Amino acid sequence: MKIGLLSDTHNYLDDSILDALKGVDEIWHAGDIGSLRIADQLKLAAPLRVVYGNIDDHQVRTEWPEYEVIDIDGNRFLMIHIAGRVGSYNPRVRALIKEFQPGFLICGHSHILKVQFDKRFNLLYVNPGAVGQHGFHVVRTLITFDILEGKVTNMKAVELGRRGR
């Protein structure tokens, strides 16, 4: 199974994003999608999982959850928009990690691409950066990876070009 992981579209979607997601089996969006219109467009490319972010309005928050626990082939993923950083998670996220014991923590919000192992909680922290035009990031990024025979493999950062604003 091939996953396309993105975050922080902020109501922006262009062909470079859709091209990078071609061939994925599922798209996971880690919050700040911006509108249901963006979700509808992403659903045309592949089945979609979304968690809402801090800029998302009541329509998005009604449609999608604050966090999602995803179990696939023996791997548990916890996806939430605002997590903090390795060594400094917010209290809500620490409680969710203790409750669900994921092997992977997926988040957005910072607009900073980062993949880092957290020894304390024995999980891989994954933030795909931001694909949208709003924010302080310089380069727009997303991540793809495979889940195959119980293992997460081929994790790749995809650069989509410079942020335009």
Residue 161 has pLDDT above 90, yes or no: no
Cα Dmax for the chain: 41
Cα–Cα distance, 157 to 143 (Å, whole number): 5
Sheet holding 26-29, edge to edge: 48-50, 26-29, 2-6, 139-148, 151-162
* Residue 165, in any domain of the structure: no
| pLDDT, tens digit, 9 for 90 and up, residues 65-119 | 999 999 999 999 999 999 999 999 999 999 999 999 999 999 999 999 999 999 9
What is the domain count for the chain? 1
pLDDT at residue 136, as a whole number: 82
Confidence bin at 135 (pLDDT 50/70/90): confident
Which are the contacts of 163, defined by CB distance < 8 A and separation ≥ 6? 130, 132, 133, 135, 137, 138, 139, 140
Q: What mean pLDDT do residues 45-53 have?
A: 98
The CATH number linked to 108 is: 3.60.21.10
Whether 72 is covered by a domain: the verdict is: yes
Domain coverage including residue 123: 2-160
Q: How would residue 165 be classed by pLDDT, with cut points 50, 70 and 90?
A: low
Is-above-0.85 flag for pTM? yes
pLDDT at residue 65 in the model: 98
In this prediction, residue 15 carries a pLDDT of 95
Higher pLDDT, 89 or 163: 89
Please check whether residue 97 lies inside any domain of the structure: yes
Q: Which residues pair with 152 in a beta bridge?
A: 147
Within a domain: residue 66?
A: yes
65 found inside a domain: yes
